Structure 1
Amino acid sequence: MKSEEFNRILHRVVSKSASKQESEIYETFYEELQKTDYTVDEKEREIIWFRIQKSMSLPKVKVVKWPAQLYRVAAALVLIATFGLVISKVLNNKSHFVEGEAFYAEEILELKLPDGSSVVLNEGSSLTYSDGFGLDNRNLSLEGEAFFNVERNEQLPFKIKSGELTTTVLGTSFNVMAYRGEVAKVTVVSGKVNVKNADRELVLTPNEQAIIVDGGLTKQKNVNASMFSSWKDGRLIIPDLPVDEAFNRIGRHFDVQVRFGHSTNNYKGCLLHGSFEATESMDAILEGLSFAYPGLQYEFTEGSILITSFSCD
């Protein structure tokens, strides 16, 4: 916990502005404080403080406050050295704190995790990390797509569960695409990544990709890793995706439903490729795809895109 945050805390103590909930939390902290002389390092304090802010569902400008008695202010100062164990014990009390944290991205969302790692969530994606994240584990689950830049910690491997895949790293940057009902892909930008499913385990290095199709896990080499993660800059990237997945991506990008007409069954086995800037409209993108793939015909109906015809020719 940083000194300026303590200054704000003590200011609110003196002004007698602590809420009932905050006072109850303080009493628990203070009781534990009397029982221990345990100390933690600055990194642990930062992780614990992050979790407290999240668990209390308070805006970041607010902090845990202490009762107004001045003689207790001095005791609170001792908390700088002992804060870690006190809060760790309270975090285990499930009547005060919720377990884990979940995020859903309606648009591209940048997150800073308690362990110092950063995540960019793509539109329509959800991320959940487990209780104790950054303290005794670094386990997450992902549905959708995210780019991870993982802080190295050899004692706590960073694990992502996404459908049938489990991705494990110590410290690296990579992209995970795992939308429900679509082909799952893990693409490595830097470092080394372990990817496994129930039957196979792969080790990926930069510009390699793991793909799972119909339960089978395979490795692709010499892929353009930066292309697979350029969506985080707002661009719409279609990197040789099956037609249905490509249009699902367009639909997520513009928040519209995509439907396929009865005469589009011949798109099976076709791949779409395209790269579009963040400023391009849906009309412009569809027109561009129609030019590149003359067999594509579509129409707008009832707030959705209806693909009326498509062929690979």
Structure 2
Amino acid sequence: METRIAKYLADEMGKAERAQFEAELLSDEQLSNELQKCAASWEVSSVYTNDSFDSDAAWNKIAPELTIERQLKPEKNNFSFLKIAASIVIVAAAGFFLAKNGGFTIGSDNEPLLVETANQVEEVTLPDGSVVRLNANSSISYDESFGESNRNVTLMGGANFDVQRNENLPFVISTVNSEVEVLGTSFEVRAYENESVEVNVTSGKVGFKSTKAKGEPAVLEAGEKAVLSADGTQMQKGKLKNNNFSAWWTKQLEFENVSLADIAKDLQKTYWVEIEVAESIAKCEATLYVNDQTIDGALDILQATFPAITITKDKENHIKLDGIACND
């Protein structure tokens, strides 16, 4: 029993073995109690921090890409999302985990169930049949009445949603400063801590609003996107220019006459790396296609497209692109 619990907490089980183990947790009280004891003894630490993140700079970069601006009036909101660390952990009904920020248990009566990722993408099927693909360093939680009296989830990080339609029970996603409401559709939400919240819609309609400001929700249809500033006071809406926002799980990137600076932005979001582009080549444009490649494979394709550029990995997860300015 102890060996299986250790494998589960260390995320060393395969998908089939993990699914079987979680099913046993629901029916085996002794097993769930042992999991509680083991989980409580594990040291929990944050899986994702970025103290140097500049939310204002990030907003200034993305705002010009959108077309419609809405000024919102701030109002007080004390929402805070509790983080838990470790690899992907799905805690069944009797499970237990201690949050880093203190005092939060998961799995007891009326407490949320949580799925969390570290450096991997995870696909989760919710009780109503909706499918969620969680990006790295992300988490989603919901209570035991999900699919019966509500379809409310709380998201921190990035996720792609394929929501089963239910006109009597809207699907509601809460983030640190926004709320997304749908009946049934496909869309993506990016809501990392201290960053702008981004919603991209691929089918159906989505209502998107700030929970820190007054105003009607923005209604987004297929092919549209909206971005809410990190402080929840500015929202901009525009058209989707490409589908690269979903590359973190599709591993497909397509660029047609796109600048190296913009290519680097999409590679960063897809592979969780930092890419520094020299000013001399930032405006050089490329046309290339990346299909199911690692970051090294994507960089090889970029190098083949621009043989004159120099690609250097000078430290972990940091890549530098340099070279001679391209001809106009």
TM-score (norm 2): 0.53
Q: For 1:187, what is the secondary structure of its paired residue? A: strand
Match of 2:239 in 1: 221
- Paired residue type of 1:246: D
Distance 1:231 1:281, change over 3 A: closer
1:176 pairs with one of 189, 201, 205: 189
2:231 is the alignment partner of 1:211? no
8 Å Cα contact 2:244/2:253 also seen in 1: no
Distance 1:162 1:289, change over 3 A: farther
Q: For 2:92, what is the secondary structure of its paired residue? A: helix
Match of 1:104 in 2: 116
1:191-213 Cα deviation digits (max 9, x unpaired): 11101122552101111111234
Distance 1:301 1:111, change over 3 A: same
Larger Rg: 1
1:61-100 paired onto structure 2 within 5 Å: 96-97=108-109, 99-100=111-112
Give the RMSD, CA atoms, in angstroms.
Answer: 4.2
Structure 2 unaligned residues grouped into runs of 5+: 1-26, 33-90, 97-105
8 Å Cα contact 1:243/1:270 also seen in 2: no
Distance between the aligned counterparts of 2:287 and 2:174, measured in 1?
A: 28
Paired residues in the alignment total 224
Shift of 1:96: 4.9
8 Å Cα contact 2:286/2:305 also seen in 1: no
Structure 1 unaligned residues grouped into runs of 5+: 1-16, 23-52, 59-93
1:1-313 paired onto structure 2 within 5 Å: 54-57=92-95, 96-97=108-109, 99-105=111-117, 106-197=119-210, 198=213, 200=215, 201-213=217-229, 215-221=233-239, 223-224=241-242, 227-229=244-246, 231-235=248-252, 245-252=265-272, 257-258=273-274, 260=276, 275-278=289-292, 280-290=293-303, 297-307=310-320, 309=322
TM-score (norm 1): 0.56
Match of 2:46 in 1: none
Shift of 1:164: 3.1
8 Å Cα contact 1:152/1:171 also seen in 2: yes
Distance 1:304 1:95, change over 3 A: closer
- Paired residue type of 2:220: L
Q: For 2:127, what is the secondary structure of its paired residue? A: coil
Identity across matched positions, percent: 29
Q: For 2:114, what is the secondary structure of its paired residue? A: strand
Shift of 1:286: 1.9
Shift of 1:125: 2.5
Give the number of the structure whose residues are more often helix, by fraction: 1
Shift of 1:231: 4.2
8 Å Cα contact 1:102/1:129 also seen in 2: yes
8 Å Cα contact 1:100/1:132 also seen in 2: no
